[in-house]
Amino acid sequence: KQEVTQIPAALSVPEGENLVLNCSFTDSAIYNLQWFRQDPGKGLTSLLLIQSSQREQTSGRLNASLDKSSGRSTLYIAASQPGDSATYLCAVTGTASKLTFGTGTRLQVTL
Amino acid sequence: SQTIHQWPATLVQPVGSPLSLECTVEGTSNPNLYWYRQAAGRGLQLLFYSVGIGQISSEVPQNLSASRPQDRQFILSSKKLLLSDSGFYLCAWSIPGDSPLHFGNGTRLTVT
């Protein structure tokens, strides 16, 4: 059974800092990995999707990497802003297009 | 462009009452559809997924059921709600294959 872990559970950084969020998974037989953002009381917004054959994806200030063999992914956020404050979740897609989610990292970017 | 609609946004129901949450997707055909539940302080739990009309797969034994009467409509139901059914319910869709998952805005269900 796939298990996805995200560390740290919560993180507070001052505005302007670069930061890294971590995601690990136990079964390397995945099709892709996605990073999502969730604002309080809202649904999830897809940020980046990395195919199993890819090593990284970039979108603006976000960069996600994938090391499938070691079961790890990182989400790098450059020059953090208060608007980046949210919970970030990673999810891996296994068989039958089913995703397994981590429990998320709650990020707060302070002024 | 594709959009997903989920309603209602919030719902308060007494124990033992029925439930019906609806989700519709526009702008795409034959999507994969999903119902997730997010309990306080816990991750997202996949409840049901569907790859086509009338095709429903259940992930966990529970008090809920799902139906897909039309290609882009997914309904989550219960005949009698339990206190433990409280949570944040999210509908999602994806294009079959390697594509991102897109979520609705969720329904906050409180069973009293």
First to last CA, chain B: 38
Residues A11-23: tens digit of each pLDDT: 999 999 999 999 9
A31: nearest CB among B98, B103, B108: B98
pLDDT score at B56: 93
Which of A62-66, B21-25, B41-45 bottoms out in mean pLDDT, i.e. has the lowest? B41-45
Q: Which residue has the tokens 């039309």?
A: B70
Structure confidence at residue A41 as a pLDDT band (50, 70, 90): confident
- Are residues A103 and A24 in contact, defined by beta-carbon separation less than 8 angstroms? no
**Whole-number Cα distances in Å, B40 to A4, A47, A69, A80, B86:** 18, 23, 32, 27, 9
Is the CB of A55 inside 8 Å of chain B's CB atoms?
no
Rounded CA gap, B46 and B112, in Å?
23
pLDDT digits (tens, 9 = 90+) for A72-83: 999 999 999 999
CB contact under 8 A, B59 and A42: no
Distance from CA of A59 to the nearest CA of B (A): 14
pLDDT above 90 for B105 = yes
The answer to whether B101 contacts A31, with C-beta atoms less than 8 Å apart, is no
Q: Tell me the per-residue pLDDT of B33-51, one tens digit each, with 9 for 90 and over.
A: 999 999 876 788 889 999 9
Q: Is 80 exceeded by the pLDDT of residue B79?
A: yes
B81: which residues sit within 8 A by CB, 6+ positions away?
Answer: B13, B14, B15, B16, B17, B18, B19, B63, B111
Average pLDDT, chain A: 94
Model confidence at A48, in pLDDT bands (50, 70, 90)? very high
Tokens read off for A91: 């999810």
Higher pLDDT, A103 or A61: A61
- Whether B69 shows a pLDDT value over 80: the answer reads yes
Please give, one letter per residue, the 3-state secondary structure of A15-40: CCCCEEEEEEECCCCCCEEEEEEECC
Interface of B with A in 53-72 (CB under 8 A): 57, 59
- pLDDT above 90 (res B2): no
Helix (H, G, I), strand (E, B) or coil at A107: strand
For residue B80, give how far its alpha carbon lies from the nearest alpha carbon of chain A (Å): 25
Predicted confidence band of residue A96 (pLDDT cuts 50, 70, 90): low
**Residue B22 corresponds to which tokens in the numbers above?**
């609806």
- For B86-91, what is the mean pLDDT? 95
In angstroms and rounded to an integer, the radius of gyration of the C-alpha atoms of chain B is: 13
- Number of A/B CB contacts below 8 angstroms equals 57
Candidates A101, A103, A106, partner chain B, best to mutate (most B CBs within 10 A):
A101
Closest approach of A101 to chain B, Cα-based (Å): 6
- Residue in B49, B102, B105 nearest the CB of A46: B102
A97 phi, psi to nearest 5 deg: 60, 25
Which residues, other chains included, contact B45 with Cβ-Cβ below 8 Å and sequence gap of 6+? B36, B37, B38, B39, B59, B60
Report the pLDDT averaged over residues B15-20.
Answer: 97
